Chain A
Amino acid sequence: MNVFEARPYILAGLLLFLSLVSVYLSLLIGPVDIHAGQVWGALVHGMGIAGARQPDSGVLLVVNELRLSRSVLAWLAGAGLALSGTVYQGILRNPLADPFTLGVSTGSAFGAVLAIYLGWGAFSVAGLSLDPIPLAALAGALAALFAVIIMSRENGYIRRDTLILSGIVVATFLGAFISLLKSLDEESVAGIVFWIMGSFQGRSWEHVFLFLPYLLVGGTVILVVSRELDILSLGDVQARQLGVNTSRSRLVFLICASLLAGAAVSVSGIIGFVGLVVPHLVRMISGAEHRQLIVNSALGGGVLLLWSDVLARSIMPHGAELPVGVITALIGGPFFCYLLKLRSRKRSL
């Protein structure tokens, strides 16, 4: 195996290691001072391994219930967004595509905003108390995806350009509805705005378990058929001549990636730039073959969003929080410009 072949594996190993270290380090940061040994003790205890000493119950609560669930959720959502962005860029053959290009995020936001506007409270199913906002957001995402697919079907084929256009139409239309709801109810505007900007504040294991199945199922399906993503990137004509059922294949990717994006938005709000920037970055380091691109983007997206969330919750004094979407946009925007410059310089050489 030469360097070119080994690079994706090295990157994956590095990112996996970085992910684990990052989750641990993120548990040390917060308004309550807990030192490294206590965090380790709480984690060991949480995993059911009998430690030498029973950790303090307050430490257990902060580390295992508050910080760990939040860090894990931030990592998972980042992984899901980056994965979904990779797939969108592949099937739309557009490097500027991201998980939100097809209006899934706006659909999701519309669902959530509607739930906030109508003031739906928590309800319980089978003894479990459920937060209605993520569920409404997920339903909104699915409805938007469904509308986009219906609109872009032409004689049984889904065309790439009509897909993007339908996405823009659906996003604009639902965006107008969100504005309408905001103007109807001045009181809930702050809540709506904060939700739309994206945040992991107050998220718990419940949200982790709501999101995890989508990441596992969607990620697995995408990974298994990732070979088709390589072929689809060559364009429809070549893909069909190589034996790919392009319509079916694109639909599978579209549904998986949109479910992932919709589920991520439903637990965290709209967090931009992760799904756009991370695949580009990975592509520059280890090439454009999708199998490794998918794995490495997911790992990289996880690390990026985890640290963005740590910044969001620790940068302001007195425990105040910034929406994490603001952080990713503030880091991601200039960084993306830098990537574009770097690429054009490479090309001109």
Chain B
Amino acid sequence: MISLIGVSCGYRGRAVLKDIDLKLERGEKAALIGPNGSGKTTLLQTISGCLPPISGILRLAGQDIPCMRPRERAREMACVPQDMHTPFDIRVISLVLMGRYPYVGVFGGYSDEDRAKAGRALANTGSLELRDRSCRTLSGGELQRVLISRALAQDPGLLLLDEAASNLDVARKAEIFGLLRRNGSRDLSVLAAVHDLNLAALYFERLIFLKGGRIVQDGPVSKVFNSDVLSRVFDVRVSVFNHPEAGVPQAFFVPDSDGGSV
């Protein structure tokens, strides 16, 4: 689906990420994990075409990402932001219909098919009852569900999520990831920056660890999710145990021995 070869990217010529090689197959679902400032958002913005790469090759479905027209890109991949910075007074269905923008001409209007697709996307995230509400009246969890609906309405082959659940409480987080798993068809690739390691291990099959602008580890959960890797990435001691029900590894941070309790 996407392949990055020797990509360096960042802002105003200052490379945040250096020499990134990354391949994501069609239908593969991977989580990007790393401490703050490791370059997760920068990488996602570069892949989404919002940030021109400094060097290297980025391909999406065989095409060179920086050369694609915005409209073509938006048909192939959709992004779910962390939140809408200014949720303004617009109806939910109008926000979701924006996902159909890359399919209509500049002068054309949304067709019945577009409306049906937007409605279906809302239904798939269990948000149909929000259809006519104003975005300003939504809770954080509801807004994220609507933003995911918008991304699904884009009919993308690749879904990028930039900490799409980080601002939510545990139950909402689980709801959002569960929803992605249910809606993620076999063909949909997902690349998600995830803040919560344990949720990443629970919901994703492949983990990509970023640190200091480089990929330090990349592989299936069972291979890379261990105390060695995690301690190295986050510079803190980590113990790993298996989840009592799901069976996947989960991480526990170990406080410094002299730290004591707060």
* Chain A contacts to B: CB under 8 angstroms: 2, 4-5, 93, 224-225, 227-228, 230-231, 233-238, 240-246, 283, 287-289
Contact = CB atoms under 8 A, between A and B. Distances in A.
A237 B81 contact: yes
A231 B98 contact: yes
A12 to B, nearest CB: 17
Given A224-B107, A235-B85, A287-B134, A243 B91 contact: no
Interface in B43-63: 45, 48-50
B78 A241 contact: yes
Nearest to A244: B70
For this complex, into which size category does the number of interface residues on chain B fall? 20 to 34
A4 B50 contact: no
B79 interface: yes
Given A283-B89, A288-B90, A240 B81 contact: no
Interface in B76-116: 78-79, 81, 84-86, 88-91, 94, 98-99, 101-102, 106-107
Given A238-B79, A243-B72, 9 more contacts: A225-B106, A233-B86, A233-B88, A235-B85, A240-B70, A241-B48, A243-B74, A243-B75, A289-B94
B132 A243 contact: no
Contacts of A235: 85-86
Nearest to B79: A241
B192 to A, nearest CB: 15
B85 A241 contact: no
B101 A287 contact: no
B175 to A, nearest CB: 22
Given A2-B132, A4-B132, A242-B74, A288 B98 contact: no
B71 interface: yes
B50 A240 contact: yes
Contacts of B85: 235
A4 B70 CA distance: 32
Given A230-B98, A242-B98, A242-B101, A289 B79 contact: no
Interface string B140-157: 000000000000001000
A237 to B, nearest CB: 5
Contacts of B86: 93, 233, 235
Contacts of A233: 86, 88
B14 interface: no
A287 B134 CA distance: 8
11 contacts: A2-B132, A4-B91, A228-B101, A230-B94, A230-B98, A233-B88, A235-B86, A237-B81, A240-B48, A241-B74, A243-B70
B69 interface: yes
Can you list the 9 inter-chain pairs with the closest CB atoms, starting with the nearest? A243-B74, A243-B102, A288-B89, A243-B71, A241-B79, A288-B88, A287-B89, A243-B70, A240-B50
A231 B84 CA distance: 12
Interface in B168-188: none
Contacts of B211: none
A234 B75 contact: no
Contact of B90 (A2, A225, A240, A289): A289
B107 A227 contact: no
Given A227-B101, A243-B75, A245-B69, A237 B88 contact: no
B73 interface: yes
A270 to B, nearest CB: 29
A246 B134 CA distance: 25
A165 B91 CA distance: 32
A243 B101 contact: yes
A230 B102 contact: no
A230 B90 contact: yes
Given A224-B107, A233-B88, A244 B81 contact: no
A289 B94 CA distance: 8
Nearest to A4: B132
